[in-house]
A and B are shown apart, each in its own frame.
Chain A
Amino acid sequence: MHGLFRWRSKWWPGLIPLAIFWAIAAWTNTSTVESDLAARSTAALKDTVLDKTRIAVAGRDVTLAADAFSEDGRSGAAASVQAVPGVRRVNDETRLVPEAKPFVWSAERDVVRVTLGGSAPLPASKVKLLEAARASLGGVEVADQMNLSRGAPPRFDDAALLLLDQIGKLKDGKITISDGKVSLSGMARELGGREAIAAALKNLPEGFSAAANEIKAPPYIFQAYKDPVAVTLTLTGYVPDNNVHTALAAAAGRKFFSEKVVDNLKASVGAPSGFANAVMPALGALSRLSTGTLVVSDREVKLSGDALYDAAAVQMRAGLGKDFPPSWQFKADISVKPQAAPVDATVCQQLFSDLLAKGKIRFESGRATIDPDSLGLLDRLVETSLRCPAASIEIAGHTDADGEDGFNQMLSEKRAQAVADYLVKAGLPASQFTATGYGSTQPVASNDTDEGKAQNRRIDFLVR
Chain B
Amino acid sequence: MAYLVTFHWGWLLASLLLGFAMGWIAVVHRGPGVSKRTSLWLAVLVAALVAAALARVIPGRPGYWLDLGLIMFACYLAGCAVGSWLRDWVLSRHAPAA
Contact = CB atoms under 8 A, between A and B. Distances in A.
Interface residues of A, number: 30
B18 A11 contact: no
A86 B3 contact: yes
Contacts of A61: 59-60, 63-64
Contacts of B35: 9
B22 A11 contact: yes
Contacts of A60: 63-64, 67
A326 interface: no
Contacts of B21: 14
A22 B72 contact: yes
A149 B80 CA distance: 61
A88 B15 contact: no
Contacts of A59: 59-65
A17 B27 contact: no
Given A21-B15, A25-B8, A85-B2, A9 B72 contact: no
Interface string A4-35: 10011111111101100110011001100100
Given A3-B88, A18-B73, A8 B63 contact: no
A89 interface: yes
A30 B18 contact: no
A58 B31 CA distance: 42
B63 A11 contact: no
A18 B23 CA distance: 13
Contact of B60 (A9, A25, A58): A58
Contacts of B84: 3-4, 7-8, 11
Contacts of B59: 58-59, 61, 89
Interface residues of B, number: 42
Given A26-B65, A26-B68, A58-B60, A10 B29 contact: yes
Nearest to A28: B11
A262 to B, nearest CB: 86
Given A10-B31, A58-B60, A33 B80 contact: no
A21 B2 contact: no
Contacts of B19: 11, 14, 18
B96 interface: no
Nearest to A27: B65
Given A59-B62, A86-B4, A8 B56 contact: no
Nearest to B85: A4
Residue from B26, B34, B69 having most chain A Cβ neighbours under 10 A: B26
> Across chains A and B, which 8 residue pairs bring their CB atoms closest together, nearest first?
A59-B64, A9-B33, A14-B22, A86-B3, A58-B60, A10-B26, A59-B61, A7-B84
Interface of B: 2-4, 7-8, 11, 14-15, 18-19, 21-23, 25-27, 29, 31, 33-35, 39, 56, 59-65, 67-69, 72-73, 76-77, 80-81, 84-85, 88
18 contacts: A7-B84, A8-B80, A9-B35, A14-B22, A14-B76, A15-B76, A18-B72, A21-B11, A26-B65, A29-B8, A29-B11, A58-B60, A59-B59, A59-B60, A60-B64, A61-B60, A88-B67, A89-B56
Interface of A: 1, 3-4, 7-15, 17-18, 21-22, 25-26, 29-30, 33, 36, 58-61, 85-86, 88-89
